[in-house]
Amino acid sequence: MSLRSLESAITYAARQHFNNQKLRVKDLMEWSSVEIKPEEGEVAAFLPLHGVWVAIKSEHDKRKAA
5-60 pLDDT, tens digit each: 999 999 999 999 999 999 999 999 999 999 999 999 999 999 998 899 999 999 99
Residues in CB range of 36: below 8 A, 6 or more apart? 30, 44, 53, 54, 55
Q: What is the pLDDT of residue 65?
A: 60
Q: What is the pLDDT of residue 51?
A: 93
Does residue 1 register a pLDDT over 90? no
- Domain boundaries, given as residue ranges, for the chain: 3-60
Q: Which comes out higher in pLDDT, residue 66 or 18? A: 18
Closest CA to 23 of 66, 53, 61, 54: 61
Q: What is the pLDDT of residue 57?
A: 96
Q: How many angstroms from the chain centroid is the CA of residue 6? A: 12
